[in-house]
Structure 1
Amino acid sequence: MILALLMLLVAAWGKNMEVEAGGGKWELLIGNIGISAMHMQLLNNDKVIIYDRTSFGLSNITLPDGKCRNNIKNESITHDCTAHSVEYDVVSNKIRALMVQTDTWCSSGSVYPDGSLSVTGGDGVGEDVVRIMGTCGGCDWREIEHGLSTRRWYSSNLFLPQGRQIVIGGRQRPSFEFYPKAKGEIGAYDFPFLRQTSDKHDENNLYPFVFLNVDGNLFIFANNRSILFDYKTRKVVRTYPDVPGGDPRNYPSTGSAVLLPLKNLEAGVVEAQVLVCGGAPRGSFDKSNAKRGKEFIRALDTCARISINDPNPQWALETMPMARVMNDMIMLPNGHVLLINGASNGTAGWENGREPVLHPVIYNPDSQRGQRFEVQNPTQIPRMYHSTAGLLRDGRVIVGGSNPHFKYVFDKVYYPTELSVEAFSPPYLEPEFARLRPVVVQPFSHSQFSYKQKTKIGFTVPGRVNLDLIKVTMLFPPFNTHSFSMNQRLMVLDKENVGIVGRGKYEVNVTTPGSPNLAPPGYYMLFVVHQNIPSEGVWMKIQ
């Protein structure tokens, strides 16, 4: 009785936070997709691949055509005819059950240039498996046993300019490897940085934040430290200052991070800035996970921002409107950053978080310091541990998951397993901006481009246009899990000669990025943005 009362009070507190909201709209897409959305990836066929883990027990969606998984090692059930992965069709708003054999719990992934999703690692017999999901109609998972050289759980993936991925870290795995491997490569390479950043009890360097710098090296952030790493020579090129305060930002003290929009791509020197937000004070995991006297420490309320190519780079701290742990950071088409999901107390882990943060926040990196955050309207559904979020081509953000308990527990816990999927529409989708919203008419969807290619982007706008406030962006859709969107990357294309070609019709000449170091090959969403109001995206491929 006391536990139930406490849960009601916690929920009421979260729903009635006295925070001034800016805008945005929430809609429930599907109340029950059958699984909890622990991992999520948008593909170029406008389908979102979602999966959780196979070792939960039975899910709430049945596999088609009498399919079942049998004789499963190290799992709670040996005969399972339910799905643990689904495909969400954005256009039809429908779900299709998918068949995954090996446990995908806390795996990682990235998308190849052909548009297929590659997922690596997981738990149990799935720890060294590679799984491929294509974009064909009716595609299902293809699994490659022992595709990895070592077992990886809680690792991060990054797609590289050469058209393959690097897989970094994982629990008790201070190493990295490539997939697929080039001729002559060994299995895994030692990576001392991950040993140096591991806390004794809770690590705090799992799912490290990894970004491709414009010089081709990797910016890697773990715990509260970061380096610039040349993965070809396996040498640390640069060591950055620690984030002020010394508190950890990686799993399980889970904050999030983004590479801010890349601009002036043809200028020769492209500024690259990383923003890290949220997390938990050191020791929070142990305190929230204690057998007796559990304590849920207030999460961090700061963001740290750094220009990683500056001669003397330093972190600059900013204060968020509220504390946040287990938050996702999603790049929006106009270059703003959406902070969404999470809690204000505790850490990652089942029931290790308290006081859900229901209000998203939008961060404008181009505004003056102190004026960059705008609080948005709240959801009514707590999105705690194992929540996910991702941008859709129409500008909405799909949100799902939360606290997938063993055997899909829905009662007698603070935050039950959440099977719903919502969409958050940022303020730029509000009806009052319809007359400012561009519609891309050229290029056609799935057009192919080469690097440094000059091309015309045709678009229409219903209302009056300020030609000086037109920009074109391209965004690589990321793989999202555990509050980190792997491979997330947005570029503002160089433009010239924005002109009128007819009534309500316009053209802008742009140049695609100059090298794979700026934009690794593959499918991107291209947007025309007018006065910070983006068009619907158009799929384009650069190669």
Structure 2
Amino acid sequence: MAQNTWSIVQQGNSGIIPLELINLTPTLALMYDRPYTNPLKLPNGESAWAGLWHFDTNTATPLEIQTNSFCASGGFISNGTHVAVGGQPVDDIPGWGNATDGRMGVRLFGPCTSADGTGPGCTVFEDPETLHLVVTRWYPTALRIADGSLFIIGGSDILTTFNAADIAQNNYEFFPPRKGEEGTVRPSKFLEDTLPANLFPRGMVLPSGNVLIIANNQSVIYDIETDTELLRLPELPNGVRIGVPFDGFAQLLPLSPPLYEPAVIACGGSNKPDTITLEEMSVNDVATTQCQRITLTAAGVAAGWEIDHLPDPRVMAETVMLPSGDIYIVNGAHTGYSGYPSVGDSGATGTNAANPATQGIMYKSTLPLGQRITQVGIPTSPIPRMYHSAATLTAKGNIMVAASNPHPFVLEADNNPNNLSFPSEYRVEYFNPDFITNNSPRPVISKSPSQLAFNANGTLTVTIPASLAAGELQVSLMDMGFVTHGWHAGQRLVFLEHSLSGSTLTITAPPNGNIYAPGPGWIYVVADGVWSEGVQIMIGDGGAPPRPAQGVPVTITSL
């Protein structure tokens, strides 16, 4: 498999700070911000804090919403509707307009099927009086699970650098609520134990249907159906912490048939103690290079965390899963912490971090220890992407990178009298693999099913260039996740069983909703490391959650 060389091109202006970025369709991405004095305006002249990004024109159009969507989470549910949950209360600062408290917010979008985002379903629906969470949540995590609903984890009542017992939401809930659990939450001992660094918990649904949750320096495997902590994993080695504000990254690695054996990486962050005070913290505290990996089987957990190292320290970095199964690590800094300016020496710069990490890293998950991590062929961006940056894979097969604003206001580069660091960033970049840059031959999907039942076969019409035909053929089913704050909640890649005969590619859908939860996804065909453009597909029956069990059980080794 050839090593791709990447390049960067700047195209367009996002109009808002899209610190929450969701790939909707081949032509549209959904963007959420906080109410600022953004340049993107609503029809009434007020600044927008939500919008659509148009991939075909590299322009943004505003969306009207009611609640403050800042620091939310979310995901698609089984009928294709996108749901964003939680947010921030309203502060009395310029630009807030008519925003209302978003901490219990539920924002529904779509399904939107029009290419230009103007048709039915292409607006945000809210009804805060009757459609809301059970409790207030700022910095939660939401994951789509096997019944097509969202499992919502943790958060806080208010904006804070460290979480605390008197403000923490150390509990779980579901959207829509589970029968018999309406108006209630499930207390979490694990979240209690991981204070004060348990905001935006890194949660991942395992092929067993259980959920792995990583917070602070600890991890647990939780059984949703019995509301039981099944297993606490060994702590992250050498005192490393990845929870907010130490802010390392974590990612479930690709799942492959027949066993769909899960492994996860947790990298970067800090080895400072969680008893450190804000006054003791510095924007120049060096993050860690440590990158640990564990296989979530009985044997894998017994073996413990396998330690690797990034080429340089990383905080606030994020992972973009590529259709080949490689992971592009982008954005963030080499020193400091996440959060608005609050550490001991943040006053001079107006930020909690310094020394931007402008060159990405590639993680090759199938290679042996010591060979997985490289910067060969990875370019350097001229734009610092600090706190509140975002990146996502697109249908075209490149990476959209946007946003950055470590300040609680819009800081214009040409209106910065206090010479604060890292002005608010609206420029959009695309990171392109060389086969896109050079318009080289790549696989083409010319026909594909719009929906596929679990464990069912479907056919695609494809063209595989002769220059790639001798290489490995892969078919990737992907969920690009809810992107925010360096965390891609729900990002997932499942390799599909397949066979090729001429131009007919027969694929088999995942066997059940534990392997890939019912709902929308993207299919890419990869030949010798070069991937096609993505096509959308609905997996499962497309009904609203909760869905009954679909597909068939399979033998797995996952905990």
- The answer to whether residue 113 in structure 2 is matched with residue 132 in structure 1 is no
Equivalent pair of 1:386/1:403 in contact (CA under 8 Å): yes
CA contact (8 A) 1:43 1:116 kept: no
2:192 is paired with a residue whose SS is helix
Verify the 8 A CA contact 1:175 1:194 in the aligned structure 2.
yes
Residue 299 in structure 1 maps to residue 287 in structure 2: yes
Q: Give how far 1:129 is off.
A: 1.3
2:436 aligned residue (429, 443, 448)? 429
Amino acid at match of 2:71: C
The runs of 5 or more residues in structure 2 that have no matched partner are 90-100, 157-167, 341-350, 541-559
Q: Verify the 8 A CA contact 2:283 2:353 in the aligned structure 1.
A: no
Secondary structure at 1:88 match in 2: strand
* Contact 1:169–1:175, Cα closer than 8 Å, also in 2: yes
Give 2:422's match in structure 1, choosing from 406, 415, 418.
415
User: In structure 2, how many angstroms separate the alpha carbons of the residues matched to 1:374 and 1:406?
Assistant: 35
1:475 partner SS: strand
- Check conservation: 2:197, 2:274, Cα contact below 8 A: no
Q: Deviations over 1:208-261 (max 9, x none)?
A: 111111011101111111111011211011221111112210111111111111
C-alpha deviation, 1:465, in angstroms:
4.0
Confirm or deny that 1:248 pairs with 2:241.
yes
Whole-angstrom distance in 2 between the partners of 1:467 and 1:450? 31
Report if the CA contact (8 A) 2:321-2:480 is conserved: no
Answer whether contact 1:284 1:346 (CA < 8 A) is retained: no
> Secondary structure, in 3 states, of the residue corresponding to 1:144?
coil
Q: Per-residue deviation at 1:401? A: 1.2
Secondary structure of residue in 2 paired with 1:518: coil
1:134-533 aligned at under 5 Å gives the runs 134-136=110-112, 137-138=117-118, 139-145=122-128, 147-171=132-156, 172-186=168-182, 187-198=184-195, 203-264=196-257, 267=258, 269-283=259-273, 289-290=278-279, 294=282, 296-313=284-301, 314-350=304-340, 351-375=351-375, 376-410=378-412, 411=416, 412-431=419-438, 434-435=440-441, 437-443=442-448, 447-467=450-470, 469-496=472-499, 498-499=500-501, 501=502, 506-533=503-530
Letter in 2 for 1:140: T
Is it true that 1:60 corresponds to 2:48 in the alignment? no
Using the size of structure 2 for normalisation, the TM-score is 0.84
Structure-1 separation of matches of 2:522 and 2:281: 49
C-alpha distance in 2 between matches for 1:519 and 1:176: 21
* TM-aligned CA deviation for residue 524 of structure 1: 1.0
- Flag structure 1 segments of 5+ consecutive residues without an equivalent: 1-20, 68-80
Give the share of equivalent positions with the same residue, in percent.
30
Partner in structure 1 of residue 548 of structure 2: none
How far the C-alpha of 1:527 sits from its partner, in A, is 0.8
CA deviation vs aligned residue, 1:144-202 (integer Å, no higher than 9, x gap): 3161110000110001111110110002110010111132114211011001011xxxx
**Which residue number corresponds to residue 116 of structure 1?**
81
Number of equivalences: 487
Contact 2:200 2:243 in 1 (8 A): yes
Deviation at 1:361, TM superposition (A): 1.0
- Using a 3 Å threshold, how does the CA distance of structure 1 residues 295 and 520 change in structure 2: closer, same or farther? closer
Q: What secondary structure does 2:381 align onto?
A: coil
Secondary structure of residue in 1 paired with 2:238:
coil
Structure 2 CA distance for aligned equivalents of residues 362 and 115 of structure 1: 31
Residue 371 (structure 1) shift: 1.5
Note if contact 2:22-2:31 (Cα within 8 Å) is conserved in structure 1: yes
Partner of 2:20: 39
**Partners of 1:144 and 1:386 in 2: CA distance:** 27
Match of 1:421, SS state, is: strand
CA deviation profile, 1:463-492 (whole Å, cap 9, x unmatched): 334356111111012110011101111011
Q: Secondary structure at the match of 2:445?
A: strand
